[in-house]
Structure formats: structure tokens, C-alpha cells
Amino acid sequence: MSNSSPLRGKRIVLGVGGGIAAYKSVELMRRLMDCGAFVSPVLTKASLRFVGETTFSALGSESARTSLWDAGDPIPHTRLGQQADLVLVAPATADLIARYAAGIADELLTTTLVATNAPVVMVAAMHTEMWQHPSVVENIATLRRRGVVVIEPEIGRLAGGDIGVGRLASTGSVVEIIEEIFDGSTRALSGRKVLVTAGGTREAIDPVRYIGNRSSGKQGIAFAKAAARYGAEVTLVCTVPFESEPGINVIEVESAQEMFEAVSDAAGGFDLVVMAAAVADFRSKEISPTKIKKSHGAPQLVLEPTPDILAYLGSVKPKNQVLVGFAAETGGVEAEARRKLKDKNTDFVVANNVLEQDAGFGVDTNRVTLVFEDSALVLDLDDKRRIANRVLSFVAEWAGKNGVWSD
């Protein structure tokens, strides 16, 4: 597990509602604790028909609580609510959602919810008919208007064997959303314009074939999402499909030439450019307009260089722009990165060794070194989302310290 999870040291009240999915909150609690959170379980009376207090007491960061009237702690709800960095309810049943929306404080969990100023996340789980009932729909809308994060149920097998929407969201996706809530508390790029490129370019040989590379675009997309979470207005120039999200304007391209045109058109207006795309260095000099036939024998491909987009950006870089390049290497990583830093006039190079396990192409994790000036920051192996968060917060702080964004 990562030491750099934003959950490290956070106090989370885990409220468990009375639904069949209650057994899944044990696993959720463990995952939150693995990330370094301190989890206080609070069980409703109804949940005790599905799961046992002992399980949560044995596995939680402290004993489970089930009542407002525990001896020795006369006001557990205000204490829990005040100390919490976040209150998480999983599963949030139709009944709990209704009571919270109406402000009813009739047991420890509902009282804690009404007494807290911390962010609240409700992970809904119930039968499809209940989820779609107008009362539930209205209560959810009310809670969202008040700033509560509601994680919607997934489609899957429900109690009794029915299949439909209603199943508790997966533990992984709940943890991810909570991490983002804590991460997003920093608005390091608020009001900044950020350009990110992502994915490998494809250089056509004929209408069917192309020269390509192994880049999945995951790291670049993680940068675009992180920049948007940090408050930036993001333009993502991307070779892989990406469903647009608030704060991210997507331009789809395929070849190095198309990427060059999309980027060079607008580059001057950006405060930060993150050139994460794996741009092909060479393309076929001629593109056959029709499919090259095997029967005509092995074709001789003549290659020519593509435009070096990063080098071009470095050559026209305005004073108030931070330029971040990448270096995917198979050896001598830092030295190669430093050479690119200088040759392409970038402020940072994010370097990795793509031969290492768990780093580089296709996988969700990465191990990178951030090379800048005459220093290097070596980051631990981490998932690509957190790598993006860490690099961006570092870069934003550096830009602030060096007066690059002096407005």
C-alpha cells in the first residue's frame, strides 16, 4: 500500500446502514485503514441484523459504536462529528437517506451526520425499485444540493437474485473517490490554463496500417484529470478515446503532425504544458492511398522525422509558461532526462524506465524521477493518478516560488 495516500492520518467515521451490502463495509473499512486512515465504525440498529458489532470492533481503528447512550461517552455524536475529516455511509439505505435529508437525528449515525461539518459521502445500495422511487430521487437531489457526495449504485445481482441497478459501488471506486475528495482540497492550479497531451501517435502507412507505440495514454489522462481537480481549465490533446469531463476540453488527434498543429495553434496561451504523449519520432514518407498488397512483395518503407513538438514548444516558450516533458527510457534514465531538459528547453522532465516492472506502458502504476534545474526528485512506485497529483503540486509550488506565474 502507498505511503503517499491522501487518506494517511485522516479520521473517517464509517456509518453502516441496514442493508444486505453491510458485509461489504468490513472490506471497505480495511482498505481505508490500509491507506492510513483512522476509521471509527458506527453501526445503525438495522445494520446489526446483517453484520456483527464484534467484526467491526476487531478490525476497525477503534471499537464500533451502536448507541447514543454508551456509558463513559455522554456526547459521542458531537465528538465523532467534530473530529471527523469525513463521514462515510456505506451502505446508505433508502431509509437512512430519507432520515438524513429530513434532518432526523434519532440514533448515533443520523445524529453524527446532522452534527458534523465534515464532508459527507453516502454510498447508496438498495433494490432497483427503491432507488427509482420518486422519494429517494428527491432525497438524493436534496442531499446533493447541500454538498453531500452521493455515490450511485452499480448494476449487478441484488438480494433475492434479481439483477438491476442497486448494488453497492466497488470498494476500489469508493476509496478512489474519497482520495480525490482529500486531494481536491488543494486548488493549486485554480484559474490556470493547462495543456496536456496523452497517448501514442499513429503514423499511417496505408489506410489499414500504421507505425505506433505501446503508450496507453493513462499517465497523460491522469495529468489532465489531476489538473482539472486542482482547479485548472484543461485542454487535452489525445490519441485515445476520452469521454469529456467538466473542466477538460478534449481535442482528438491521431498523428504527430495533427498533434503538432493542435498544440502549436494555442500553446502560447497556456500557463502549463504537460507533454505526456508518446510521439512517434518517424513516419512513413509516403502514405499509400490503397491497402498495400502482400502479393506485391515486402514494401520498402522510407521514413522521415516527425516534428519534435516539445522542442518546438521549448523554442517559443513564453516567460510565464512552465513546460513539462517526459522521457521514457530503457537505461541511463536521469542522464537522458537531463539531456532532454537542456536540449528541448523544458522546466521539468518526468523520467521513467519503461523496462521496470509496474512502471510505464499499459499498467496503472509508475515509478518516476522528476528532473529539473540541477535537482531530481525520485518518487516512490505509485498509481498514475497519485503520480500526476504529486508532480502537479510540486510544479505549481515551484512556479509560485520562482515567480513564473507572477499575476
Q: Please give the positions annotated as active site.
A: 213
Taking the complex as a whole, how short is the minimal distance between the CB of residue 336 and ligand CTP, in angstroms? Answer: 6
Asked if 256 is part of the footprint of ligand CTP (rule: CB under 6 A), the reply reads yes
The count of chain residues that interact with ligand CTP, using the rule CB under 6 A, is: 14
Asked if 281 is part of the footprint of ligand CTP (rule: CB under 6 A), the reply reads yes
Considering the complex, state which of residue 95 and residue 347 has its C-beta at the smaller distance from ligand CTP: 347
From the CB of residue 371, how many other CB atoms can be counted at a distance below 10 Å?
A: 26
Integer angstrom CA distances of residue 171 from 175, 263, 306, 318? 6, 38, 44, 45
Among 90, 272, 310, 359, binds ligand CTP (CB under 6 A): 310
Taking the complex as a whole, how short is the minimal distance between the CB of residue 381 and ligand CTP, in angstroms? Answer: 21
Looking up cell 485503514 gives 33
Among 80, 125, 328, 391, binds ligand CTP (CB under 6 A): 328
Grid coordinates representing 266 are: 494555442
Distance CA 211, CA 239 (A): 13
Among 174, 236, 277, 368, binds ligand CTP (CB under 6 A): 277
Asked if 323 is part of the footprint of ligand CTP (rule: CB under 6 A), the reply reads no
Contact stretch for ligand CTP (CB under 6 A) within 69-77, 243-251, 302-310, 355-363: 302-310
Taking the complex as a whole, how short is the minimal distance between the CB of residue 259 and ligand CTP, in angstroms? Answer: 8
Taking the complex as a whole, how short is the minimal distance between the CB of residue 304 and ligand CTP, in angstroms? Answer: 12
Contact stretch for ligand CTP (CB under 6 A) within 99-107, 142-150, 159-167, 272-280: 272-280
Asked if 215 is part of the footprint of ligand CTP (rule: CB under 6 A), the reply reads no
Enumerate residues 6+ apart whose C-beta is below 8 A from 86: 10, 11, 12, 13, 118, 119, 120, 121, 178, 181, 182
Distance CA 83, CA 62 (A): 14
Considering the complex, state which of residue 43 and residue 279 has its C-beta at the smaller distance from ligand CTP: 279
Omega before 91 within 30 of 0, i.e. cis: yes
Among 340, 384, 386, 390, binds ligand CTP (CB under 6 A): 340
Q: For residues 50 and 20, is the Cβ–Cβ distance under 8 A? A: yes
Element (H, E) at 92: strand 86-92
Taking the complex as a whole, how short is the minimal distance between the CB of residue 198 and ligand CTP, in angstroms? Answer: 10
Considering the complex, state which of residue 52 and residue 307 has its C-beta at the smaller distance from ligand CTP: 307
Q: For residues 198 and 236, is the Cβ–Cβ distance under 8 A? A: yes
From the CB of residue 157, how many other CB atoms can be counted at a distance below 10 Å?
A: 11
Ranges within 348-387 binding ligand CTP (CB under 6 A): none
Among 199, 217, 325, 360, binds ligand CTP (CB under 6 A): 325
Sign (positive or negative) of CA dihedral 93, 99, 103, 105: negative
Among 56, 223, 242, 326, binds ligand CTP (CB under 6 A): 326
Considering the complex, state which of residue 118 and residue 279 has its C-beta at the smaller distance from ligand CTP: 279
Pairing of strands 282-284, 272-275: unpaired
- Of 213, 241, 209, 237, whose CA–CA distance to 223 is shortest? 237
Asked if 91 is part of the footprint of ligand CTP (rule: CB under 6 A), the reply reads no
Distance CA 302, CA 184 (A): 48
Contact stretch for ligand CTP (CB under 6 A) within 77-85, 235-243, 277-285, 361-369: 277-285
Considering the complex, state which of residue 136 and residue 263 has its C-beta at the smaller distance from ligand CTP: 263
Asked if 261 is part of the footprint of ligand CTP (rule: CB under 6 A), the reply reads no
Asked if 391 is part of the footprint of ligand CTP (rule: CB under 6 A), the reply reads no
Integer angstrom CA distances of residue 187 from 11, 179, 192, 228? 22, 15, 10, 9
Asked if 327 is part of the footprint of ligand CTP (rule: CB under 6 A), the reply reads yes
Q: For residues 63 and 34, is the Cβ–Cβ distance under 8 A? A: no
Enumerate residues 6+ apart whose C-beta is below 8 A from 8: 35, 36, 37
Asked if 309 is part of the footprint of ligand CTP (rule: CB under 6 A), the reply reads yes
Pairing of strands 375-378, 369-372: antiparallel
CA triple 189-400-244, angle to 5 deg: 15
Considering the complex, state which of residue 118 and residue 309 has its C-beta at the smaller distance from ligand CTP: 309
Asked if 308 is part of the footprint of ligand CTP (rule: CB under 6 A), the reply reads yes
Considering the complex, state which of residue 42 and residue 309 has its C-beta at the smaller distance from ligand CTP: 309
Among 237, 275, 379, 395, binds ligand CTP (CB under 6 A): 275
Residues that bind ligand CTP (CB under 6 A): 256, 275, 277, 279, 281, 306, 308-310, 325-328, 340
